[in-house]
Structure formats: structure tokens, C-alpha cells
Amino acid sequence: MRTFQHFLSYYKPYRKIFYLDLFCALMISVIDILFPLILDYLSNDFFLRGAKIIQAALPWIALGLLVIYTIRSLCRYYVSAQGHIMGAYMESDMREDLFDQFQRLSFTYYDKHNTGIMMSRVTNDLFDICEFAHHGPENLFISLIKIIGSFAIMFYLNGILSIALLLVTVLMLLFSYSQNTKMKRIFMDNRKKIGEINASLQDSLEGARVVKSFANEPLEKDKFAHSNARYLKSKQDNYEMMGFYYGGTNLFQGLLYVTIVVVGGFLIAKGKLSPFDLATFALYVNVFVAPLEVLVEFTEMFQKGFSGFKRFEEVMDEDPDVKNEPNAKTLENTNGHITFKDVSFAYEEDKCVLDHVNIDIPSGTKLALVGPSGGGKTTLCSLIPRFYDVTHGEVEIDGVNVKAYTLESLRKQIGVVQQDVYLFNGTIKENIAYGKEGASMEEIVQAAKNANIHDFICSLPLGYETPVQEKGVRLSGGQKQRISIARIFLKDPKILILDEATSALDNESERVIQKALDELSKGRTCITIAHRLSTIKNADTIVVIDDEGIQESGTHEELLAKNGIYAKYDRLQFEGL
Ligand code: ADP
Ligand code: MG
């Protein structure tokens, strides 16, 4: 019920269009129902009155009919155009709501859900919902009126004949319904098979280098031929079924007319029906049968639309794990003093990643985190901007729990440079400007200079207007990283998190980027996660963390003197170089 109300609420802004749409649908049905009756009157009564009267009336009859049909076509226009437009508006409203919701949802949601499926929500599900939203009510309305109206008139014309007709129609509906269920199954199978083909195609295209390096083209060909054949088979079944369905429905329609001719002929012979009435009756059969098929389609449309809407609602009902607390205040001009107080964290229950961690990072100092991969370094950092909330304990900025700040103001104060850089579709300039709303060109250029990427950008034919991503320039990992660093220069946050920012780079790029990062970290509180110890030697504090927790901490010299884990790392890397 709640789902239904929620669904109806999307009609609200378009109530006027909706009612007018239904009104037009009503007009169409009424005209369709009355038209054979008018013909019946003309042929049964009026046209028998003599040549003079008929000739005098013909222009008026023509005019009358023309007016009726003009009204009908205007209504048809409204239903087709405005009805669809209303559907498109509703779809756009839902899409926007869904997008807003995706923006609200926390990292935990994205951890658990596949982006491909989320995309299909935004496209397929919404399309199904909106097809139903505008066709549904109007189809239901038109069909019911036509079915009830035409049957009433047929019954009025002749009771026996209409009952006979009804019996055949019920058989036809049963056939239609059973075939529809089968067709749906085959259709689903079809969709699955095309999905398999796409997966296979995507796999071998994206993995083209691997395929070629193993010279495994024949294997890939085989795999593809297999899924291609399965798809072909499924399509064959589909068309076979469709042919059977349409053929069968046609047979039943023929059966309807046979019934009319036989039963009608019988009734005429008995003097219980006039030939003209029989002709009118035949005209009504179409008015009666066509909407029945629409109703069968309607049930399918309803199922698709409603299950789509249920899935839509599922996402909309999802509450973000991380959100603003009531009375959250704005974090402005932070000193950048970070404290982890007895912090524990688990992604899943009972799988503790951080266990009672205590770290103090005074304002403007540099902290380095080192340790084996999977030790929880990234996790620890992601608790500061509240990508996730702690399970136990507190993360504080300037002595206040981060939960007391609004998410927006908190995250504005923190810059994160990661190993993987995501560049958006757009130009280099736009990608840098992402760091600050309304940044001027001077600011963008300055940021690029600070990030050591300005000269490279200028060497491109289109300069700052060069598009990145598809069809754009191919940027190396180091170039992308410098663009992301320029973004952070623009953002100018007080707190900086460098999460293996240079790990994926070659020595040459690393050196350039390290320079940019040293520049960036000046005057900011900075947490660096690094594999290569050479980059963190100068940190004020180095913390060694593994899946057992914090093992040691101190300055580079202190830790070397301690001759513990850090000293061992240092020796290994030194020897490794
Ligand atoms: P590090 O950065 O030190 O390599 P991480 O913080 O990435 O370590 O990971 C710590 C542990 O948490 C690992 O065991 C990892 O598998 C797990 N983990 C990391 N991210 C997630 C996530 N989004 N969902 C569930 N577990 C995660
Ligand atoms: Mg990590």
C-alpha cells in the first residue's frame, strides 16, 4: 500500500495532464463505442427513408462524422504526446531522486553493490516504471470502458449472440494468457543469453592483450561461438513461440467470426435478429476483442513496472550509514589537530580491522604509516573524513569528535591523494577545477604549476582544454596523479592524506611527484602511507601498523635505534635497492 502511495505521489505535479489524459482516453473510448451504433442507426433506419431526405442530410452527416473524428484524433494526439511526455517527466523526477540518493549513500553501500546493477536501475527499471506510469492507467481505463460498453451494446442488440461470443472470447483469453507466460519465460532466457554474449565479448575485448600474449585466440573463438549458438537457439525459440502465439490468436479471431456467422445466421433464420444488426454486431467484435488483448499486455506491464518500482524503492529506502548528526556544526579554519582515541573498527561484525588504536597527530605535523598490505592503514585514514564511522572510540579534530561536524564542512578540510586516480569525462581544466567550485583560470594554472604539470599541459595542442577519458589524450599514471594533486592544491585543505600516492609509479615519475607532494604538504597536517621508506624518513612520527595493531612508533632514528620491525623493513629495502 505504501509502495502504491509512493508511486502515486510521482503523479502529483502532473495531475492536470493526468486527468486531461484520462478524459481524452474516455472520449476516444466513447467515440469508438458509439460509432457502430451510429452506423446501425443510419443503415437500419435513416437510409431507408427515401432518396431526397438522404441526399439533403448527407452533407450534415458527413460534417457530423468529421467533427467526431476530429475530436477523436485530437484526443489521440493528447494521449500519445502529452501522456508520454508526462511519463518522461515522471521518469526524470525519479531518476533525479535516485541520483540524489546514490550521492547520499555511504561507502558501505558502494562496497556491497555492483555498479552495473545500479546503472540498470537508473535506465531499465525507470523505463519500465514510466512506461507503466503513463500507459497503465490510460490503457486500463480505455480498455475497461470499451469492453464493458461494447458488451452492453452487443447484449442489447442480441443476448444469445453475445453470450456465444463471450464463451469463445474466454477460450481465447485463456490461450493468450498461457502463451504469454511461456513467452515471458523465453524472453527472460533471451535476455540472459544476450547478457552472456556481452560478458564474453567484453571479457575478450578488455583482455585482448592477455588473449594475444597467450595466443589463445582459438579458445576465445570457441567460447564465443558457444554463447553465440546458445543465443541463436534462444532466439529461434522466441520467434517460434511468437509465431505460434500470433497464429493461435488469429485462429481464435476467425473462430469468433465463424460463431457470429453461424449463430447469427441461425437467429436471422428464426427471425430473431435483423441482418443489419448482425453487421453492427460484427463491428462491435473488434471494439470488444482488441482491448482484451491490451489488458493481457497491461498485466505484464504492471508486473514489470511494479517490480521495477519496488527495486527503486529499495534503493530509496536505504539509509546512509554515515550522515549528519542533529545539530552538527560547521568545521571552519581547523588547526588540523587529529586524535584517535581508543578507536576500533570492523567492516563486518567480528572481523576487527582496527583494535583500540590511539594516535595523536598535532597540528601541522607529519605522520607516516608503514606496514604490510592489509594492515588497516587505508582504513585508519578513511575514518577521519568519515568515509566510515568508527565502531568504538572517537576520532577527533581540534579536540572535537568528527561526528559533531557536518560531513560537508569536515570533508572540505581534508584532501586525499590515492594510488588510483579517477579523472572525470571532461577537459584537463575541468578536472583540476573539480577541487574548488568556481576556481579562476589563474588559480587553476597556479595549482597546475605547483603540481609540476603545467609545462606538460602547455605542450598539448589543446592545452588546458584537452579532453581526458575516452577519445581524449592518454595520460600516464604520473600525469594523472599530478592532475589529482593540482586538484588538492586548489582545494587547499588543512589536512592531507597521501595513501600510497606514488606506489604505482616508476622512479622518475615518483621523484617529480614527490617534489609536488612535499610542496603540497607544507603547513598542513599530513598523514602519509608509503611503501618506500625513503619518502617518509623526515616524518615527525612513524607508526608501524599490521593486522595485530600498532607495533611501534617514533622518529626514523628512534625506530632504527630500537632495532625492531621498522629497522628490519629499512634493512630489507636498503638491500633491495
Ligand atoms: P592497508 O591499507 O593497510 O593495505 P586496508 O585498510 O585496505 O589495509 O585493509 C585492512 C583490512 O580490511 C583488510 O583485511 C581488507 O581486506 C579489509 N577491507 C578493506 N576495505 C574493505 C571493505 N571496503 N570492506 C570490507 N573489508 C575491507
Ligand atoms: Mg591501503
Task: Domain ranges for the chain, please list them.
Answer: 1-158+312-320, 159-272, 338-576
Nearest protein Cα to ligand 1, atom 16 = 374
Is the Cβ–Cβ distance between 374 and 296 less than 8 Å? no
CB of 109 closer than 6 angstroms to any ligand 1 atom: no
Say whether pLDDT at 577 is over 60: no
How far, in Å, CA of 524 to CA of 337, rounded? Answer: 10
CA of 378 to the centre of ligand 1 (A): 7
How far, in Å, CA of 487 to CA of 252, rounded? Answer: 69
**pLDDT score, position 507:** 79
Question: Helices 2-9 and 275-317, interaxial angle, to 10°?
Answer: 100
CB of 110 closer than 6 angstroms to any ligand 1 atom: no
Is the Cβ–Cβ distance between 204 and 235 less than 8 Å? no
The residues pairing with 329 across neighbouring beta strands, listed in sequence order, are: 405
CB of 347 closer than 6 angstroms to any ligand 1 atom: yes
For residue 436, what pLDDT band results from cuts at 50, 70 and 90? very high
For residue 45, what pLDDT band results from cuts at 50, 70 and 90? confident
CATH architecture of 338-576: 3-Layer(aba) Sandwich (3.40)
158-190: string of b/e by CB count within 10 Å (b at 16+)? beebbebbeebbeebbeebeebbeebeebbebe
Atom nearest to 375 CA in ligand 1: 3
Across the range 320-335, mean pLDDT stands at 92
CA of 376 to the centre of ligand 1 (A): 6
Nearest protein Cα to ligand 1, atom 14 = 374
**pLDDT score, position 471:** 60
How far, in Å, CA of 56 to CA of 170, rounded? Answer: 45
Length of the chain, in residues: 577
Record the pTM: 0.80
CA of 530 to the centre of ligand 2 (A): 9
- The predicted-structure confidence for 458-480, as pLDDT tens digits, reads as follows 999 999 999 987 666 788 888 99
Q: Which residues surround ligand 2, an ion (CB under 5 A)?
A: 378
**pLDDT score, position 342:** 95
Across the range 57-78, mean pLDDT stands at 93
For residue 453, what pLDDT band results from cuts at 50, 70 and 90? very high
**pLDDT score, position 469:** 73
Percent of the chain past pLDDT 90, that is, above it, reads 53
Is the Cβ–Cβ distance between 502 and 481 less than 8 Å? yes
Is the Cβ–Cβ distance between 530 and 378 less than 8 Å? no
Atom nearest to 107 CA in ligand 1: 23
Query: Residue 549 carries which DSSP code?
Result: E
CB of 376 closer than 6 angstroms to any ligand 1 atom: yes
How far, in Å, CA of 157 to CA of 406, rounded? Answer: 73
- The predicted-structure confidence for 131-185, as pLDDT tens digits, reads as follows 888 888 888 888 999 999 999 999 998 999 999 999 999 998 899 888 888 888 8
Long-range contact pairs involving 105-108 (C-beta distance under 8 Å, separation at least 24)? 105/318, 105/320, 106/320, 106/321, 106/322, 106/323, 106/387, 106/388, 107/322, 107/382, 107/387, 107/388, 108/321, 108/322, 108/347, 108/388
Is the Cβ–Cβ distance between 417 and 565 less than 8 Å? no
Listing DSSP states for 208-262 in one string gives HHHHHHTT-HHHHHHHHHHHHHHHHHHHHHHHHHHHHHHHHHHHHHHHHHHHHHH
Say whether pLDDT at 491 is over 90: yes
Atom nearest to 500 CA in ligand 1: 2
Measured from the Cβ of residue 415, the count of other Cβ atoms closer than 10 Å reads 26
Domain 1-158+312-320 has CATH 1.20.1560.10: yes
What 3-state DSSP class applies to 395?
strand
**pLDDT score, position 576:** 56
> Which cell goes with 334?
581547523
Between 431 and 40, residue with greater pLDDT = 431
Nearest protein Cα to ligand 1, atom 25 = 347
Between 242 and 367, residue with greater pLDDT = 367
Across the range 389-409, mean pLDDT stands at 95
CA of 500 to the centre of ligand 1 (A): 14
Is the Cβ–Cβ distance between 395 and 425 less than 8 Å? no
CB of 374 closer than 6 angstroms to any ligand 1 atom: yes
**pLDDT score, position 455:** 94
Q: How does the average pLDDT of the chain come out, rounded? A: 89
Across the range 87-108, mean pLDDT stands at 92
Place of cell 560478458: 199
Atom nearest to 348 CA in ligand 1: 25
CB of 111 closer than 6 angstroms to any ligand 1 atom: yes
CB of 543 closer than 6 angstroms to any ligand 1 atom: no
- The predicted-structure confidence for 198-223, as pLDDT tens digits, reads as follows 878 877 887 888 888 989 889 889 98
Nearest protein Cα to ligand 1, atom 15 = 374
Across the range 438-445, mean pLDDT stands at 95
Question: Helices 126-157 and 83-104, interaxial angle, to 10°?
Answer: 150
Q: Is the ipTM of this complex over 0.85?
A: yes
For residue 360, what pLDDT band results from cuts at 50, 70 and 90? very high
